[in-house]
A and B are shown apart, each in its own frame.
Chain A
Amino acid sequence: MATVLKKADVVVIGGGAVGTAAAYHLALRGKKVVLCEMRNIAAGATGRCGGMVVHCYGRFLNIDKTDYRLKFTRANTKIMKEYQKNFEIDFEFRQVGCLDIAIDESEFNDLKRLIEIQRSLGDDEIELLDRKETLEVMPNLNPEVIFGSRLRKSDGNLNPFLLARAQALEAQKLGAEIVTHTKIEEIVIKNNEVQGVKISDGIIESPYVVNATNGWASLLTEDIEVIPVRELAMVTERLPELPPQPFEMLCNGDFAYGATQTVSGNYNLGGPGPARPPDYNYFDETIYADEVLRVMSYIFTIFPGLSEVSIVRSWVGTMGFTPDGMPSIGPMPGIKGLFIVAGFPAGMSWAAISGKIASEYICDGKTSLPINRMNPGRFTGKPKVQWPQPYDLTVCHDFLTKGA
């Protein structure tokens, strides 16, 4: 029998923005929390993303659930504003707006239709801008390529490292224990009830486990089916703030290329980095020359000024998608004590509220917001989604937008 290293009320797996949020909110409710992170705080997707806060990510996929999604992302923004009042670390959250750019007439018409649906579902913020209006908001864009855009002024960005570290620090102040460089070998379940987690030198006993490992979630809990998606990211040298400064651009449908300027002036650039043949390993964090050139040149067609700017570093991050594009947040059906918070294409817009919901469920058995549409077990028993191979952009674009 493996030795029991320690006992906890809740073990949170994953040291990203979502895991540290869960740890904080659970500690806030007086729970004895142990957070285990395989590498270091924010070493996974959190530390590799552009830090975008986008209240309604993507286009067609789940457009019908706009009102449902806005409840969560607006609540998320409210919580982050509270954080800013009493957290020691400033995680640089700013609402500078977000432009979702149409690069041809058909995309512009799509945006027009999408906005009508969004408005009909109570979204009073979203605005449609034609080319002139878009260029007034962000003059540095390439007029020959821009057709128009969708603007939400309440979107913004933040420093993802600092968000995760801020939540982790506040959780520690409330007694939570953060254990890094500790890989979970398995979630220990006996007759469908969580006993704790197994790590290299023993067991941490706990009646509750929160799986907040996003892209890696299915490795610990198969049936929840979170698909890892490889994203390439780059950062430029520091530039003065570009007035006015809505940031991130989503274009080319759901396969977003993006550019977002941080508080310290660097531009974070991002784009899809499909896994490579022959083995299509989505966790492959090495970088390939052709994908760096592709993402750079695509963004430079949209934002030509950046082509005169030096790229300082490039890296790869692993996002988590679910087959239907909605996150998986909720108790794992059939396993008492296992709570899932994973599958976020836009994690920074959901992290704080997901952590709070996890703590509500574990402490009160119910949640302040309805999580019925995000039941982690909704894919159990269904045929596993075969990610289209070879994984090329156009095929995946249709796959994601039209659903499995």
Chain B
Amino acid sequence: MRIKEHPILGPLPVAKEVIIIVDGKKIKAYEGEMISTAIVASGIKTFRYTSKKKEPRGIFCAIGRCTDCVMEVNGRPNVRTCVTPVEDNMVINTQEGLGIWENWRGGG
């Protein structure tokens, strides 16, 4: 959940509210924050399932290095949600294995 009041950092900075759609559900987010922030704030911890063993995975490094937090964003899989800021009505899906490339020019 979001840290509304922090002893050192003070209150949450005011930011424009945006809506993102995660697995079909509308979730509130703040402009400029990372996708992973909004996802974790909404209580979701699993971002993807691995392709072979279908195991749940979530944030590990939070600095865009380990790719364990990748999800499908606007029809493109493998997007590192910990370093990608949210945009209004972004469509985000939990990634199953290698994910589905929707409107990809290279798509089959």
Contact = CB atoms under 8 A, between A and B. Distances in A.
A265 B98 contact: yes
B100 A304 contact: no
Contacts of B100: 240
The B interface, classified by DSSP as helix, strand, loop or mixed, is loop
Contact of B108 (A139, A265, A304, A306): A139
Interface in A234-279: 237-240, 242-244, 265
B78 interface: yes
Nearest to B78: A237
A128 B77 CA distance: 35
Interface in B77-108: 77-78, 97-101, 104-108
Contacts, number: 37
A305 interface: yes
Contacts of B57: none
B76 interface: yes
B89 to A, nearest CB: 21
A229 to B, nearest CB: 29
A308 interface: yes
Nearest to A312: B67
Interface residues of A, number: 17
A306 B108 CA distance: 13
A238 B106 contact: no
Interface string A36-63: 0000000000000000000000000000
Interface of B: 51, 76-78, 97-101, 104-108
18 contacts: A139-B108, A140-B108, A238-B51, A238-B98, A239-B101, A240-B97, A240-B99, A240-B100, A240-B101, A265-B98, A303-B106, A304-B105, A304-B106, A305-B105, A305-B106, A306-B106, A308-B105, A308-B106
